[in-house]
Structure 1
């Protein structure tokens, strides 16, 4: 018998089944055994099947126990709404039967059964593969409960598993992430599908999953493996959205909480790969924490400096593979990829902290509060103050009073507009209502009572002038540089100093020199030469599944940038640093010595083609 995933009408069909079950049970009690057998054989159970395969309708897992018991004439759980519904139908039928006689040759129960199966009209709409079930559901159920992609995906996956295994798989794989993630479940599935780098819209989640399973030999075992993978990554995701409950390491929990506060969900596909690599032993716990700190610095710096956030949707998800996957140099490669023009340098960051308005919308103020809290904690007081009740306070108030105009001096209004929401004029305090628009001298007296280290600064300040605001901003910015260091210019592992500073003019392989103009061209040329020296080795590596992040026979594998070499595609979408790492990995696998090849550079920007210097690519 064919199976269908029911998108709309679950409650109506389930209720109809419960009514028919109640009709059967009352008919049995009344001695109408032929009617009871007819109802059961034609409308409730499919003959010659076993277990749940017998059922005409199979509700979601939460209602299955009660539904099975009712249909099979067993005692259902008393706490179920389905049990209440069946009990109600039975009581109403028994009461109505006592007051109704026969009509012609038909009893009341026969007439009612006939009305249900012969006169009740159902409209069936069957979706093809290309149809969008979300749109159809919304058209039919505009005022009803919203259908989520997670609902569709759960049913789609479980339908591909034998009915006798569904409950076990649901309890083991789906229920834990459903309970842990709640309304974040659909977004998790989207991020899980994006973790290899593909950008997926919310409206495309269901179709993307169907396509992937179909391409991956859609079998029951394949579906169970996918659900196991989904469960494993779902519990990682629970650590992102609720670190206090699910992340046991205090440092990592704190770092995750900070990313959660600044709504860094754009980084979650990348973090799924990182956390899974840590659990598999491919990355260390120290590397995991370093990734979180790098991302925080990267996102804070970009946000403060006004870099567009929409670029991050394409930048972050594919990074894990672009930097070569897990390795000892993963952090150095990550810094290399996120650094440069993608991340503001110290000068740009400092300038923005001192001059740009940081206090604005609710979302930006949440980020600002986090920054002020981290600045406060950076003083590392032995008995840190409780920040839970603190609020953001403007030292120079938002309302420019006559006293404050006098405090600011000439061009007071201009200074007020320019400096009001900048870091130098902002602090944390629990005295907001008391401070209000008071003159600075009165505010200073109240701030002296504060337990926050941020406010000890005001002890020695006599007047709150534009120069004083600028000076405090400078000091806080210097502290901020240590909290959120530049991700790509400090703390990297030692690398070849010529990376990124010059372009090669040639490559040399086993004594022969070949002119090139870019790192990418040189890398591809060397791989071609490796293959000429060892024919068929690239194809052999691909067939064995080695270097999957670098090589593939699938033309769709590397969608952004690739080069074709002897029937194999090489992933060229990478930084210079990463291109060199990939080249060395391929050389090692192909038995090419690091002494066999070099990149050649002009000795001086104005040098001729006869003036070269070479650097080994090791």
Structure 2
């Protein structure tokens, strides 16, 4: 119901299962972690909270929503959690059921009188909101009749079998007062149908550690967070991004050393085989005419950096890496 963008959801759901599995342990089961993950996104695929969800009902033009979304919405409101299921979706598709504007899209003089002096603003604000919409199998008979007439005609609201019309049947008029009241009732119904997921999962605190390349630390099983090179700190998310960034920084210091590696004969071993002058499988761009092999493990990446720093006559202690222990 909110206007939150959905274009990033494909990527979100593609990675959701693995994101959950990384956190599942003896203390927290799959569902607990799932609820946590889907409600703690801070990007465009975030899960709206109850208040944001309710606020959207005050502004959302439900009548002009995508047809599939409307079918799902009205099916859920009508059937709720009842085992006596009404096939709303199919009947909306084949036009047996349709959406009825309780206050009509075109106001007659009688409707203007019933709504009062502010009828124009009331109509403009509420006409396509969910509070003014319901289901009927007799849409053509309703037209822009007065509210009382819509209630009392044959097959009118008083005789409707739709649960969505229970509140409407109880009303003796249809003004802004009733619209506001129904809007609040529907908000509560929405929250019962789609409650905000709850989870007692506690994100484990991450302990970070810093090491230089020459202190003998084994980085296996650790996640790279940042590195400091010659006094400047750089944030990274992966060992690959750290690897590429350090090589690019070395290139900026003296490109000729990197180009010597690129132009070395292919039969040479060691550093030479990790550089290329053209894009290839597992080679990532460093600079013009410089590509770096990145399909290697953490130990090899750091070993290549050590050798490269030696070529640049830079002490390994000038590269400090901040990392954290990988968790599930």
Q: CA-to-partner distance for each residue in 1:48-88, whole Å, 9 max, x for gaps?
A: xxxxxxxxxxxxxxxxxxxxxxxxxxxxxxxxxxxxxxxxx
Q: Structure 1 residue 434: deviation in Å?
A: 1.0
SS at match of 2:113: helix
Question: Aligned equivalents of 2:207 and 2:299: distance in 1?
Answer: 15
- Distance in 2 separating the partners of 1:324 and 1:533: 32
Alignment equivalent of 1:404, drawn from 73, 88, 111: 111
C-alpha separation in 1, matches of 2:301 and 2:115: 69
Distance 1:386 1:334, change over 3 A: closer
Structure 2 vs 1, CA of residues 467 and 553 (structure 1 numbering), >3 Å: closer, same or farther? same
TM-score scaled by structure 1?
0.32
Deviations 1:493-524 (A, max 9, x none): x233xx59xxxxxxxxxxxxxxxxxx7xx555
For 1:535 and 1:468, locate their aligned partners in 2 and report how far apart those are by CA, in whole Å: 69
Structure exhibiting the larger radius of gyration computed from Cα positions: 1
Contact 2:126 2:132 in 1 (8 A): yes
| Candidates 432, 457, 465, aligned match of 2:167 | 457
- Matching residue within 23, 48, 53 for 1:344: 48
Report the counterpart of residue 74 of structure 2 in structure 1. Answer: 372
Using the TM superposition, give the Cα deviation of residue 384 of structure 1 relative to its aligned residue in structure 2, in angstroms: 4.3
Kept after mapping to 2: 8 A contact 1:408/1:466: yes
CA deviations 1:454-496 (Å, max 9, x no partner) are: 1121221011011101111111110111211224xx2x1x233
| Pick aligned residue for 1:525 from 203, 209, 214 | 209
Structure 2 residue aligned with 1:428: 135
- What is the CA–CA distance in structure 1 between the aligned matches of 2:161 and 2:184, rounded to whole Å? 22
Query: Judging changes above 3 Å, is the alpha-carbon distance between structure 1 residues 420 and 334 closer, same or farther for their aligned structure 2 residues?
Result: same
Residue 533 of structure 1 and its aligned partner are, at CA, apart by 9.8
Do structure 1's residue 482 and structure 2's residue 192 form an aligned pair? yes
1:441 is displaced (CA, Å) by 0.3
Question: Which structure is higher in RCO with an 8 Å CA cutoff and minimum separation 6?
Answer: 2
| Pair 1:536–1:466, CA change in 2 (3 A) | closer
Higher strand share goes to which structure? 2
Task: Provide TM-score, normalisation by structure 2.
Answer: 0.58
Large movers: runs of 4+ above 2 Å: 309-338, 382-389, 522-526, 532-539, 550-557, 564-569, 582-585
Shift in alpha-carbon separation, 1:428–1:535, aligned structure 2, 3 A: same
Asked whether the equivalents of residues 390 and 428 of structure 1 are also in contact (C-alpha less than 8 Å), the reply is: yes
Residue pair 1:397, 1:420 contacting (<8 A) in 2 also: yes
**Structural RMSD (CA):** 3.8
Matched residues in 2 for 1:537 and 1:310: separation?
A: 36
Aligned to 2:69, what secondary structure does the other structure show? helix
- Considering fraction of residues, name the structure with more helix: 1
Unaligned runs of 5+ in 2: 223-236, 245-281, 285-296, 303-322
- Residues 416 and 384 (structure 1 numbering): CA distance in 2 closer, same or farther, change over 3 Å? same
- For structure 1, which runs of at least 5 residues remain unmatched after alignment? 1-303, 501-518, 540-549, 570-578, 586-618
